[in-house]
Amino acid sequence: MDRYITTPLTAEKAAQFQCGDMIYITGTIYTARDAAHKRMSEALARGGDLPMDIKDAIIYYLGPTPARPGQVIGSAGPTTASRMDKYTPALLDLGMTGMIGKGRRSKEVHEAIIRNGAVYLAAIGGAGALLSKAIVGSEVIAYEDLGTEAVRRLTVKDFPAIVVIDRFGNDLYETIDK
Amino acid sequence: MREIDVQTVENAVCEMCVAANYGLSADVKARLDNAFDKETSHLGKEILKKLEDNLGIAGQDQIPICQDTGMAVVFIEAGQEVHFTGGSLTEAINRGVRRGYREGYLRKSVVGDPLLRVNTGDNTPAIIHYSIADGDSVRITVAPKGFGSENMSKVAMLKPADGEEGVINAVVQAVKDAGPNACPPMFIGVGIGGTFEKCAIMAKQALTMNMQEHSELPHIAKMEEEILERINRTGIGPAGLGGDATALGLRILTYPTHIAGLPVGINICCHVNRHESRVL
Ligand code: SF4
């Protein structure tokens, strides 16, 4: 079914989501991909802070193209989530409730999703021009030197994503594989 | 001897990097349209519609089709009667890539050292495949390659006894392993024969061939159709969320090989199968 939600994504809201639901997100989400995850993990190892309040937050695995003058952001579709698997359980244990990406997740991520009542959503891969239309604000908040891989705070309006792993660990891809 | 200034090559490469990232070739687009018409999954059809809308927005609003604007792969086939003037050809190609990715607002996705991983900031260097042909013209193909699908590509060193069935199984298995990671519906390039590296380069080249056509070799044309059909029976579907359209097109290139081997290169590409060609 279609669900319209506003951030923050509390565990109560996330618990409603079922595999295959179409979610339209309005509010604030954060971008981070490979290099930013590595830095965040190093920060945590040092006892340092994350660039965002991770509690009830959604991270979008995205490295956009540069915006043209007058545009909020360039092309902005999801990258493959499995490359973040190594870093994800720690973020989920700190209270992150949502992730947006594409592709399969590891067993460890499944377990951490169930343990924390989180969800994994997929945005349509290769639809970056279309998806950029749901992003109404974008600001780099950390690791600017990483270029496209910097952490951004995005303001989104009805950003569309499909529930792939729900809070019980049901996995839409696995249903299709069978 | 025909003289060609490398500046001409630079300009062509620059323009092709930009063009490839904002629009797909007619054959690739036609395969997508065809899949949309035939898709029987409701969600699958909706996703294919969104991919069509995405292409429209990319062209109209000048937003790259996908945020992964790729590593620039350049095939350059130079006639042996050509003399390049005005400096280094390799540097000219890289200047073209640098300019194209800057002027076209494309993403810089290349790291200099694969282990130290510092972004080069201008999407260079390109991957350049040179070859020499007869005549006095130069054919350049630019194919920006995204890595969601590149990462799912494979080389399989099969045994001669594995035969045609072995090749088909290897390709279908690679597609299954790629699944939702490679942004299906996909395009598949296959290289059969040659050596370890030759089959991989042929697989890449096969992705730049016309996806509405088939091989001139009857047994290969038949294989192209059969593998595509088998892939589309997996049910992976658009975005990996189920449906008929798992792959939109598949092309095969072959080359003689050793008595002991049957190398197969499988290059997986997403529906954003970008390539532009020009003859100078
Ligand atoms: S696999 Fe293709 S469509 Fe998917 S993110 Fe990469 S370039 Fe874009």
Average pLDDT, chain B: 97
Q: Could you report the per-residue pLDDT of B130-141, keeping only the tens digit for each?
A: 999 999 999 999
Number of residues assigned to chain A? 178
pLDDT of residue A73: 97
DSSP 3-state assignment of A135?
strand
Q: Is the pLDDT of residue B167 over 90?
A: yes
DSSP string, chain B: -EEEEHHHHHHHHHHHHHHHHH---HHHHHHHHHHHHH---HHHHHHHHHHHHHHHHHHHHT--SSS---EEEEEEEEETTEEEESS-HHHHHHHHHHHHHHHTT-----BSSTTT--B-SS-PSPEEEEEEESSS-EEEEEEEE-HHHHTT-EEEEE-GGGHHHHHHHHHHHHHHHHGGGG-SSEEEEEEEEE-HHHHHHHHHHHTTS-TTS--SSHHHHHHHHHHHHHHHTS---GGGSSSS-SEEEEEEEEEEE-TT-EEEEEEEE-S----EEEE-
Q: Could you report the per-residue pLDDT of A48-59, keeping only the tens digit for each?
A: 999 999 999 999
Atom of ligand 1 at shortest range from CA of B150: 1
Q: Could you report the per-residue pLDDT of B90-118, keeping only the tens digit for each?
A: 999 999 999 999 999 999 999 999 999 99
Domain range for residue A123? 2-177
Give B240's contacts in chain A (Cβ within 8 Å). Answer: 102-103, 122, 173, 176
- Per-residue pLDDT, averaged over B229-250, amounts to 96
Q: Is the pLDDT of residue A12 over 90?
A: yes
DSSP string, B66-109: SS---EEEEEEEEETTEEEESS-HHHHHHHHHHHHHHHTT----
To the nearest whole angstrom, how far is the Cα of B50 from the nearest Cα of chain A?
7
A177 falls in which pLDDT band (50, 70, 90)? Answer: confident
pLDDT of residue A121: 97
pLDDT of residue A161: 97
Domains and CATH numbers, chain B: 2-22+65-145 (3.30.360), 148-273 (3.30.1330)
Contacting A residues, span 8-47, partner chain B, CB-CB under 8 Å: 20, 35
Q: Is the pLDDT of residue A178 over 80?
A: no
Domain count for chain A: 1
pLDDT of residue A1: 87
Q: What percent of chain A has pLDDT over 70?
A: 99
Q: Is the pLDDT of residue B40 over 80?
A: yes
Q: Do A102 and B63 touch (CB under 8 A)?
A: no
pTM summary value: 0.94
Return the CATH number at A98: 3.20.130.10
